[in-house]
Amino acid sequence: MKYLWLGLILTSSLFAQTYELKKGEANFEIKVMLKKVDTKSTGVKGKINCNKTCEYLLAIPIMTFTTEDSNRDLNMFTAIEADKFKVATASGTFPKKIMAAAEGKIEALIDFHGVKKIYPVTLKNKGSKASLKLDLDAHGIVRPSLFGFKMDRILPVEFSLDWQQTN
């Protein structure tokens, strides 16, 4: 009987797949009135573990976002309280077949600014591209304004993810 259990454990571990994020980037565009500002982070980290289903976790240190304008960055970090909420995460599960699909839809539990909310995520190119629309009001962000016009409430976020299978 113990050989049967050992065989099952070894067999299940042979079919498990693990992916680590070799390189990750998150991009979004801040819009206030007619002004648009590109913002990006190259500090995205992540891991996927797959057996019958896949579990994933992405983490982005908030202070890795930059607009290439230090004054604007400081204002952004102040608005999102980066000193208090240092990391944004996305986590969840999805069917294993998504890793081989040209595109697919999954859900992500986003933990941002101390608030957790589930969002639909679109994946493309076998998970190397992802996008979601983050609702700033839902996360308690006080949106900055310019001449009385607040920045957009919905923030489209695009991810470029270079996954590497580690086993």
Query: Which residues are CB-contacts of 121 (< 8 A; sequence separation ≥ 6)?
Result: 90, 105, 106, 107, 108, 130, 131, 132
CATH topology of domain 17-165: Lipocalin (2.40.128)
Q: Is the pLDDT of residue 20 over 60?
A: yes
pLDDT in the model for residue 79: 87
Strands (DSSP E) contained in 113-153 are 115-124, 129-135, 145-146, 149-150
49 residue type, one letter: N
pLDDT at 34: 73
What's the confidence (pLDDT) of residue 6?
38
Given a contact cutoff of 8 angstroms between Cβ atoms, the answer to whether 60 and 46 are in contact is no
Per-residue pLDDT reduced to its tens digit, 101-121: 889 999 999 999 999 999 999
pLDDT recorded at residue 95: 94
The amino acid at residue 72 is R
> Does position 9 have pLDDT exceeding 50, yes or no?
no
d(CA 105, CA 129): 12
Query: How long, in residues, is the chain?
Result: 167
Nearest to 158 by CA among 26, 9, 10: 26
Tens digits of residue pLDDT in 147-157: 778 888 999 99
pLDDT tens column, 118-144: 999 999 998 899 999 999 999 999 887
Where residue 17 falls among pLDDT bands split at 50, 70, 90? Answer: very high
From residue 93, alpha-carbon distances to 30, 34, 132 in Å are 29, 38, 16
pLDDT of residue 131: 97
Element at 2 (helix H, strand E): helix 2-15
Asked whether residue 165 carries a pLDDT value surpassing 80, the answer given is yes
* pLDDT for residue 35: 74
Task: Catalogue the long-range contacts made by 22-25 (C-beta closer than 8 Å, 24 or more residues apart).
Answer: 22/162, 22/163, 22/164, 23/160, 23/161, 23/162, 24/58, 24/159, 24/160, 24/161, 24/162, 25/159, 25/160, 25/161
Condensed to tens digits (0 to 9), the pLDDT of residues 70-107 reads 888 898 899 889 999 999 999 999 999 988 888 999 99
Between CA 63 and CA 77 the distance in angstroms is 7
Q: Is the pLDDT of residue 10 over 80?
A: no
Residue 14: the pLDDT is: 55
